[in-house]
Amino acid sequence: MTVLAPTVVADPLVDRSLFGVYVHVPFCLTRCHYCDFVTYTGMEGLRRPYGAALLAEAELAVAELGGTGPGRSGAGPRADLPVVTSVFIGGGTPTLLPPGDLARVLARLRELLPVTDDAEVTVEANPETVDATVARGLVAAGVTRVSLGAQSFDDRVLAALGRPHGAAQISRAVAALRAAAEARPGGLDLSLDLIFGCPQEGEASWARSLEVAVALGPEHLSAYALTIEPATKFGRLVATGHMAAPGEDLLADRYETACAVLAGAGYAHYEVSNWAGGPRDGAGMPAHASRHSRTYWRRGAYLGLGAGAHEFRAGPGHAGGPAATGGATSLAGPTAVGGVRRWNVPGVPEYLAAVREGRRPTGGHEVLDLDQARFEALALRLRTVDGMAAEEAQALGVDPDGPQVAELRAAGLLCAPPRLRLSERGMFLHGEVCSRLAP
């Protein structure tokens, strides 16, 4: 079922025009040295049962919203359910599941929930798993966007990161996706993910990776600083003194290079770590910006399906919130004015067992009060180039004409009024700006 998007209602805490579905596929060929996500190598025998379990959990999740679920199969989505504006299948490596399994998940979501005609449907992929067959399968499944984990175009850097692909495989995967996209009206948006501050990476290597990425013509690029997490191979190496974490000055230099190269290639720097092409609206947002990520940045509600997946139910009166659906009331009650965040158990066997028993595989939940929601909204809204209006800032406890804002503008970290938004330099120091503005 497809419908028109709901009318936008201004609210600095929640964007009611957005509702997403996140689907987590935790399987990987190898464990990268920096990764602390919910991912697992091997488990080949659990992949097909996992795909089937995603279908069952989708029914359970929608049943919590008051829609079609077990016992109501075939009834179709109810008109009062939140309207899906984006789906993101992430991982892990979702393309380790057969394209047919991904297609069944997407088809089932469309049966259970109303979906906008122009919904963004993204699948993450790693280059070594994408060939012509997989690419055609993704397009046939209704995928509109592929986020490809390139990370670098320097084979030495890729090896140091523990990535199982080489630079040549990235180009082959892009070619396969572009060829498959010819069968889809409107084509297929391609996003490339890159990491900077890596072992074996020099300034010339990083600049070269950016140039090669741009030459492939993606509609979207993401560039993230390498983060050292304790429970990773890199974390253990740093803790034992066998590896140095990248310094702030080095990361700042790499970030500045990314800003310069991508701006020169015509990409709009629309979020701290993201650039996109296409015409820009009046607030500077480019046409190929990620709609699903925007759901997170604007605190839109979203479902989370799969092992370790997180989801967010908005406060009363919002799409996916208690007053609208009754769904979050069982978790937190109608006083959850800041919303409810819940997450699934991370283990695949535990996830499968819970779904087999006909229950959501909930690992925990967090109830947000109004102060928490306001700070979260402030930090998230400042990530994007459009920032927020002065009255929205006031609603979040920030005086747009106060001394803190004036000092940050004088330091070149905030742009000139009337809106409260970060400069490009301010984007790199996003955390510091938010801490100084916090009420």
Domain check: are 281 and 141 in the same one?
yes
Residue 412, domain member (yes or no): yes
Residue 170, domain member (yes or no): yes
Domain check: are 433 and 289 in the same one?
no
Tell me the Ramachandran region of residue 267: left when phi exceeds 0, alpha when psi lies from -120 to 50, beta otherwise: beta
> Quick one: pLDDT band at residue 11, thresholds 50, 70, 90?
low
Determine the pLDDT at residue 69: 45
| Planar angle of CA 98, 89, 115, nearest 5 degrees | 110
Rounded to the nearest angstrom, the gap between the alpha carbon of residue 35 and the centroid of all alpha carbons in its chain is 16
Domain check: are 58 and 164 in the same one?
yes
Residue 136, domain member (yes or no): yes
Q: Which domain holds residue 41?
A: 2-294
**Mind listing the pLDDT tens digit for each residue in 14-55?**
898 999 999 999 999 999 999 999 999 999 999 999 999 999
Domain check: are 405 and 271 in the same one?
no
Residue 327, domain member (yes or no): no
Least confident of 91-105, 210-224, 330-344: 330-344
Domain check: are 276 and 417 in the same one?
no
What mean pLDDT comes out for the span 312-336? 51
What mean pLDDT comes out for the span 414-430? 96
**Mind listing the pLDDT tens digit for each residue in 243-254?**
999 999 999 999
- Domain-ending residue, one of 279, 294, 309: 294
Residue 308, domain member (yes or no): no
Domain check: are 62 and 189 in the same one?
yes
Largest CA distance in the chain: 61
Residue 329, domain member (yes or no): no
Domain total of the chain: 2
Domain check: are 282 and 394 in the same one?
no
Domain check: are 31 and 137 in the same one?
yes
- Domain-ending residue, one of 294, 309, 331: 294
Strands 220-225 and 274-276, how do they pair?
antiparallel
Point out which residues pair with 2 in neighbouring strands.
115
- Domain-ending residue, one of 294, 321, 356: 294
pTM of the model: 0.92
Domain check: are 399 and 286 in the same one?
no
Domain check: are 399 and 283 in the same one?
no
Domain containing residue 112: CATH number: 3.20.20.70
Residue 319, domain member (yes or no): no
d(CA 329, CA 333): 4
Determine the pLDDT at residue 2: 35
Residue 109, domain member (yes or no): yes
